[in-house]
Structure 1
Amino acid sequence: MKDDWETPSPRAREVIRKGAEQALDPKAEWLDELFDAVRHASGTSPAHVDPVLEDGARRANLSNLLHWAAANIQRPGARVSANLSPELLESVRDMVRRDLDEKALDIWRLGQNVAWRRWMEICFGLTSDAGVLHEVLALTSRSIYTFIDDTIDAVSEVMRQERRELSQGTHSERLTTVSLILEGAPVSRSSAESRLGYHLTGSHLAAIIWGNDVTGDQLEQAAEQVLAAAGTARRLTLLATGSSMWLWLPVSTAPRTEDLEAGLAAVPAVRVALGRPRSDLDGFRQSHLEAAAVQRMMARLGTSRRAGGYTDAQLVALLSQDVGRADEFVADTLGELACADPVLHLTLRTYLDQQCNAARVAERLYTHRNTVVRRLARCDELLPRPLAHDPVSVGAALHLLSWSGPKE
């Protein structure tokens, strides 16, 4: 680290210290802006198609911000050492496991641009002295950009070391093979089967298992629950990141998500997304892409459900691409019903699923038909428009609500 670092004046040091104290406790809108700038930037999508990588990027950017701020509280204006925090390194290792290279670290430069704009707002609010402000901004501009450069340099070496370690085992070969299949590249079936140790003929059901701050043992425990629910002992397993696992099971029928929900009660932090059983090499790919769509949907909506299958969630996955507009659709369509007793939601959703047959609803919900009729009448009172005017929209809104939870 070079020694030619300018020492700020006492007044500039005080402004930097006070500003860093504010940055160390960032407002929620600052963090949203910081992450959205990265997530929506062109060329960064490979690091964000997976909710686990997305969460890792969020943690890494927050870690960079807090590391720089904490350093400037202790030594205002001094050069900040590279950030090698556990949160950041775990995110980096996940990138390597997903075959991303050092170019993926450019997302941090996008984050630094947002942080710089917010930092200038803080500084302008702390002093009106033009001379002090000029000194503070000149020094901290260099500080922030140098800090990110130093961190990227240090982390790049960590990535190279991690890549060397992975290349010594079978993980790299299996990941490369699976990535080629998922990209639709021409792959020799026999060669792929040899590398994966898994037959690519017949039916395949893909599952994605993940969670925040979960251990490998928890992922494995959840995988065993998926196997038990699917009625098989055979699987192909790929550790996608430190907190997510990809599975393929040679079965032609998907397990019921209700059964998985019960089985996953012992590992509540873990979530499971399922595709549909598909055939042969293309089915191997399609089932995983379906599971990935369900995973993204569950992460977007922050659902409390532990398991989701593509068959049940396909409509919701499509409708929830824009969460804000989806919430608006639910509110406009359901009105006061959106905040009503979830029993009413379940009754009306089941009524629509059962082709508006109250007797079948009573049978499915193990209740009296008259109770069903009373609940349906109450739903009609709460809806902004009678159910008969647009049952399709009401049904879609109820399915969205069943995944995202009641609105307050």
Structure 2
Amino acid sequence: MIDRTSAEGGPSGVHEGASEAAARLARSMLAGIDSVTDRLVDDIIAENPEYYESERVAESDLRDSCRANLQRVLQLLGRRVPPGADPYDAARRTGRLRAEQRVALDLVLRSFRLGGRVVWSSALEAAREEHEFDPDTLLEVGTSIWNVVDAVSLAVSDSYRAAELELLRGDEQRRQVLVDGLLRGTGTDSDFVESALRALGLPAVGPYLVIAAEIPSSVADVPAPESTLQQHGISSVWQAQADTLVGLVAVGDHPLEEIPGLLRDVVQAGMGVSPTVDRGDAVPHARELAVLALRSLPRGASETAWLDRRLPQALVARSPELADRLVERTLAPVLNLPEAERRLLLETLETWLAADCSAKRTAARLYCHRNTVLNRLSRIEALLCRPVTGVQETVWLSLAMHALELRKR
């Protein structure tokens, strides 16, 4: 096992363990490094073609990288690293550059293994010319070479992964800028909308849905619905905005009603769903409607609110100031009662309205006698100074009761 820490910032214990024979051979190969480089470039092109044919690594780039890394490997083996130089600087540069070029790490490491093979075969050729090395010494040389190659490969891998992480963070930031532009309308021109949809993997035209889901404060990690919908062939993008998770969903040919249900494995809280829109520039308005639909639910609810099915409630939710005034002007006398009576009368009124103002159905739902319901309703009418029947009155009372429920948000 190689110790990865050293004063020079790279794997240590490598050139200390290199044999004298390996050092002599390495110094000999340094004198002919151009020919060693040629061999390595030819081997990579022949045996690791994806690395070169990726059209990301030019031949001049490949040659320069091979030469720089071979030089450092031979300097480590030959104990000729210049004072103050980082013996792994070439490896780290290569790792970062290949990550930026989006070359797969396994292709990069395979090229370094080919480099180790070239160094080993070149060392054997140099040893034959000197006629001074027995098999045990050559075995020691081989061990030293592969220890150095492993250490350099480790530096490449670490540098690659660090750069890859930076790139992923940058990619995610750019992606979120595009998502934000679509959802909030910060990029309103048609060229931006078209390019953003394309970059995010969404179709150029709808139908689209916008879904807004509540993020409970007890949730440690924000849900990630994108992969869940992708399993069903549905493309979407999502963004956490304050305590709300907002997603743009490409409906395609999927049944509209099924989409919220597909999310229930990852989203257990309430969801608001906008009407469908066909154009990308209509998404910001759809987002507002989805958030409004969500706000029409009491906080902590787990149901799905389709805006078009909750328009009266959405009207109340859209104007919190008017909603508060509606509650005070309509229900204040009941709200000022002691808690037990207040809860009893509000429950009766809510059930009465939900039962289409039927005393019989209200009594059945409350498990009490019909006359008990009528007595409570009479008490409510006396307190409110208004009837609890009639179209206008029931609409007024229903909106007031909903506004009262929304105070819990």
Report the TM-score, using the length of structure 1 for normalisation. Answer: 0.42
Report the TM-score, using the length of structure 2 for normalisation. Answer: 0.42
Structure showing greater Rg: 2
